[in-house]
Each structure stands twice: as structure tokens, then as C-alpha cells.
Amino acid sequence: MKRTIVILGKKIIPFKIRIFFRKVNWNLRYFVATFGKFYENKVFCPIANREFKTFITLGNDKRTPSNGAKCRQRLVWLYLTKELNILHDSLKILHVAPELSYFEVLKKQKNIEYFPGDKMVDGYSNQKGVNNIDLTELKYDNDFFDLIICNHVLEHISDDRKAISEIYRVLKNGGKAIVTVPIDENLEKTREDPCIISPVDRKKYFGQWDHLRVYATDVKQRFENEGFNTEMIRYASKFSAEERSKMGLSLDLIIVGKKAF
């Protein structure tokens, strides 16, 4: 029932209005959580580039009050800005299913030629400034982008290998794909079964009603099979426990695929 209401709401309520109410919700939660309380150790969101008294808790995640950024999003942002220097280098970037927190910053960057894109299914057809794309059939030339950002998308795509192949095709030689997916490091092999189609069964076996698989660390091989030089980086280990707590970072693995010359 909840899923049906959410889908219906996305069809009826314009995207801009939904974002407005999301931000109101985040700020109200922050106000309630912090009202009358003193916080000696403040937190810091590297995407918003500011301190807060605390993050807000939504589900099992700690969100930034101003932009809703999740733990894994703050982690990947640090990699993008500290290791790839995306706020200063001249780059042509494809951003797949753009997170609001990233989108609001990247669309303003003068150094970036920015291509945010999403598949325009119900509820996503009115995102201003976001292109309608299909990751398994990209309408871009070969060797077009310097960088592709793709967070928690591949687990939703039936033919994820074709999507990875397309990511490789449109990257320039030397370009990089920065990708995250849900990974269960206790699995020896990615769990998937095309016969599992009901939302209830998908949630049971894959963790979410619209997920088609649970990846193991063998996802690295899927990227290498398409030609990528691939690393699986636990970037949070670059920071101290105190820094991870202050910035609310996840311990997720980041897949870095480089298109070799």
C-alpha cells in the first residue's frame, strides 16, 4: 500500500513541489531533533560545505538537514572532490540518476560541462534540467565523457552488463566511471534470478522491491569483462574514526573503473 501511494504521489505531484516538501521535512526533523539541545561535537557535510548540530535520522541513514545527503553520498563526494578534483578541473560529466545534493552543486560549476540524466518513468518526467536517458542505450558518441557518476542504479537494471558496456563506450580513453551498488561482502557470488519478479519476493531476496540483484564483490569482474581497469576502494579508511563520525561516512566500497588508453 505504501509503495502504491508513493508511486501515485509521484505521478500527481510535480517534482519541484515534492523537492520543496522534502526539504521542509528535513528541516522540521532537524529543528525537532535539536531544539533546546546543546551539541559539543558538531557534524560536517562536505557537499553542503557546512557544519550542523547533528545529522537527521531517516530509516537506517544519517541525512544532511539541508540537502538530504546520505552517508554513502557524502563518502563518494569526498572521493570525487579530493581524488578527482571535480570542482576545479575542466570535465565533461555524465551523472546518472542525479542525487539532489550533487545536482544542486554540480549544475552551477563553471568548470563542468554537466549532463544529468535519468530514465523518465512515472514520477520522473518533470525534473527540470535532467535529460531522459536509458543507460543500456545511451545517445552519446563514443569517447564523449571524462567522468561518469552512477550511484545505486545498476541493481535496478535487468541487463546491467549492457549498461556497463555503454558506460565504457561513451567514456574517453583515460576517463573514469565512479559507481556504487549495494554489495553484500558475505556473498561469494552476486545473487540474481530473473524469475523473481514480484515486489514482495524482490524485497525478500534482494532487499528492496525494485532491486533485481544483490551484488557480491564479483561485480568487479563485470566491469573488467567490459574492458575497465577496475579498483574496489574502501575510501572511508582514508579517514580517522573521528573524521568518519563527524562527516557521517559509510564504509561502502566504491567501484572505480578506468578506461585504459
The domains located in the chain, with CATH, are 70-259 (3.40.50.150)
Instruction: Give the DSSP per-residue string, 60-124.
Output: TEEE-TTT---HHHHHHHHIIIIIS-TTTS-EEEEEES--HHHHHHHTT-TTEEEEEEE---TT-
pLDDT digits (tens, 9 = 90+) for 90-149: 999 999 999 999 999 999 999 999 999 999 876 555 677 899 999 999 999 999 999 999
pLDDT digits (tens, 9 = 90+) for 19-48: 889 999 999 999 999 998 999 899 999 999
pLDDT digits (tens, 9 = 90+) for 202-239: 999 999 999 999 999 999 999 999 999 999 999 999 99
pLDDT-derived band at 54, boundaries 50, 70, 90? very high
Over pLDDT 90: what percentage of the chain? 87
pTM over 0.75: yes
